[in-house]
């Protein structure tokens, strides 16, 4: 079993430079949640030259729409959603200093390249492990777009949130590399 | 005419929504354990271990396995000699979904309009496929169908000349293109025949079969096995990061079709394969 790297937010250049695809990472600190609808609104604000409801400098966005909390829970199940849907909105956020993204599934070649250009990292969390991941979230606060329900922007405080580096600042891609290693056939 | 009270259907549907979302079926537990034994990739093994641990937490704490508690999909077989009293069957299912998703702390994932996208707030409407059958029973199949895997599903109308090989190639293309997006290891439902819409319904229905079950017709049973073997050679692995186990199973459902057509639909199901069945 590989060891975990422990990192805290906000992410610094040194920390980011040390992350390579396949690294298992435990994140502590703050994550902001945003998925489809919140991304659309953020990018519309950027296009209109208006300020965003959150400061993205050095931050990580977690692509998640959590389930409602049961009494006694901090948050309901909270696993990652599929990341490619956020691809069209990602570069404007990277330009504002966003340094990390957590989701599931591979990104477009443009985003993979943008991780190199803007020195940002894309992490994969295990999809469908929402009950387990929710236990690593210690506090939740809605910071914008409450009307979006599960899609509102939340500020999560996390402790040892488990992820895997999927795209690093060196152009690496865990999906491409992983599949190459285990592939036995072609569909051609 | 046998009578079933409206409230009985409401309560049953409510319980089904919660149970499916909290608890993985025994076939899925077995499939996950087998996958963990077979998987060679360390990354893949770590993912499978997390999925199993997650299922245990969900079951013990009565919380959703996955935050995407899905579109509520039903196949309902209504006996010709059964009648719902005190309200309509459709209303009862809607009410059961509303209660199940609210009282069960399940996520509400339905938007009222596909383009204007305002959440309906109670996870209705469900998608219901009704069928009239002989007898005096009411059989309900429920699946909590997540959006991530549904988005990777494809239907295509082939010329009959495409045949078995054309279909196999198509399924492999769909799975390969999906990669890690639908949360593999996946279950693959393949609907062949019928017409445009029926092939998709067949593919959905195929997902309700237990893992490891085979089509009763040996021709299709063999085809299921062949596709499964080929899919697991793709190397996609758990969560797409490489590995031996890309799919738990392939289930094919078929129907007669037009002389000019060969409709084929591939419905992808994530590893959080959540469905339950009740008979009233």
Domain ranges of chain A: 4-170
3-state SS class at A7: strand
Report yes or no: B161 and B39 within 8 Å, Cβ to Cβ: no
A102 touches chain B (CB under 8 A): no
Structure confidence by residue, pLDDT tens digits, B69-103:
999 999 999 999 999 999 999 999 999 999 999 99
Q: Is the pLDDT of residue A14 over 70?
A: yes
Structure confidence by residue, pLDDT tens digits, B168-188:
999 999 999 999 999 999 999
Q: For residue B145, give the DSSP letter.
A: E
Active site amino acids of A = 39
Alpha helices (runs of H) in A9-122, residue ranges in sequence order: 13-17, 36-47, 87-95, 109-117
Say which CATH class A4-170 falls into.
alpha beta
Residue B24: which pLDDT band, with cuts at 50, 70 and 90?
Answer: very high
Q: pLDDT at position A3, please?
A: 86
Report yes or no: B180 and A106 within 8 Å, Cβ to Cβ: yes
Closest CA to B247 of B172, B196, B139: B172
Q: Which CATH fold would you assign to the domain B2-20+65-145?
A: Dihydrodipicolinate Reductase; domain 2 (3.30.360)
**Cβ pair B40:A182 closer than 8 A:** yes
Report yes or no: A173 and A167 within 8 Å, Cβ to Cβ: yes
Alpha helices (runs of H) in B128-254, residue ranges in sequence order: 147-150, 163-178, 196-206, 218-231
Write out chain A residues lying below 8 Å of B169, CB-based.
187
Tokens of A13: 């250049």
**Cβ pair A150:B151 closer than 8 A:** no
Q: pLDDT at position A186, please?
A: 59
Q: Is the pLDDT of residue A127 over 70?
A: yes
Structure confidence by residue, pLDDT tens digits, B203-254:
999 999 999 999 999 999 999 999 999 999 999 999 999 999 999 999 999 9
A25 Cβ partners below 8 Å, 6+ apart? A4, A5, A6, A7, A19, A123, A162, A163, A164, A165
Prior bond of A4 cis (ω within 30°):
no
What are the start and end residues of each CATH 3.30.360 domain in chain B?
A: 2-20+65-145
Map tokens 């901090």 to a residue.
A74
Residue B119: which pLDDT band, with cuts at 50, 70 and 90?
Answer: very high
Evaluated on CA atoms B189, B194, B198, B199, the torsion sign reads: positive
CB atoms within 10 A of CB B78: 18
Identity of the residue in B51, B148, B244 whose CB atom sits nearest the CB atom of A129: B51
């Amino acid at each position: 079993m590989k060891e975990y790297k422990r990192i805290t937010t906000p992410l610094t250049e040194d920390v980011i430079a040390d992350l390579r695809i396949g690294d298992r990472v435990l994140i502590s600190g703050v994550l902001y949640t945003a998925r489809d609808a919140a991304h659309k609104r953020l990018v519309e604000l950027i296009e209109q030259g208006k300020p965003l409801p959150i400061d993205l400098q050095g931050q990580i966005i977690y692509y998640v729409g959590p389930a409602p909390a049961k009494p006694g829970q901090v948050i309901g199940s909270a696993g990652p959603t599929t990341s490619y849907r956020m691809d069209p909105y990602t570069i404007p956020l990277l330009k504002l200093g966003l340094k990390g993204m957590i989701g599931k599934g591979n990104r477009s070649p443009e985003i993979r390249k943008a991780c190199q250009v803007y020195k940002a990292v894309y992490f994969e969390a295990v999809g469908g492990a929402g009950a387990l991941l929710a236990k690593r979230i210690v506090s939740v606060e809605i910071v914008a777009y409450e009307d979006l329900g599960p899609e509102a922007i939340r500020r999560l405080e996390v402790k040892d949130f488990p992820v895997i580096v999927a795209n690093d600042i060196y152009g690496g891609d865990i999906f491409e590399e992983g599949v190459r290693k285990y592939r036995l056939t072609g569909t051609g | 005419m046998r009578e079933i009270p409206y409230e009985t259907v409401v309560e049953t549907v409510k319980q089904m929504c919660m149970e499916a979302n909290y608890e993985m079926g025994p076939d899925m537990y077995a499939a996950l354990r087998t996958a963990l034994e077979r998987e060679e990739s360390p990354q893949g093994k770590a993912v499978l271990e997390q999925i199993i641990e997650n299922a245990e937490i969900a079951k013990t704490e009565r919380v959703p396995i996955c935050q995407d508690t899905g579109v509520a999909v039903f196949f309902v077989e209504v006996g010709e000699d059964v009648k719902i009293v005190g309200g309509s069957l459709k209303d009862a299912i809607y009410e059961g979904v509303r209660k199940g998703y609210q009282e069960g702390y399940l996520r509400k994932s339905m938007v009222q309009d596909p383009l204007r996208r305002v959440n309906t707030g109670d996870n209705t409407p469900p998608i219901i496929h009704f069928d009239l059958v002989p007898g005096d029973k009411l059989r309900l199949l429920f699946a909590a169908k997540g959006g991530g895997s549904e988005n990777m599903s494809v239907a295509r109308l082939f010329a009959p000349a495409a045949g078995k090989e054309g279909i196999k190639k198509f399924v492999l293309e769909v799975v390969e293109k999906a990669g890690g997006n639908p949360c593999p290891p996946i279950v693959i439902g393949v609907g062949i025949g019928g017409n445009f819409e029926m092939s998709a319904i067949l593919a959905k229905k195929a997902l309700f079969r237990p893992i490891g079950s085979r089509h009763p017709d040996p021709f299709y049973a063999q085809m299921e096995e062949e596709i499964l073997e080929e899919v697991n050679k793709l190397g996609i692995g758990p969560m797409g990061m490489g590995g031996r186990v890309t799919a738990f199973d392939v289930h094919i459902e078929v129907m007669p079709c037009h002389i000019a057509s060969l409709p084929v639909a591939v419905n992808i199901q994530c590893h959080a394969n959540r469905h339950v069945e009740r008979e009233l």
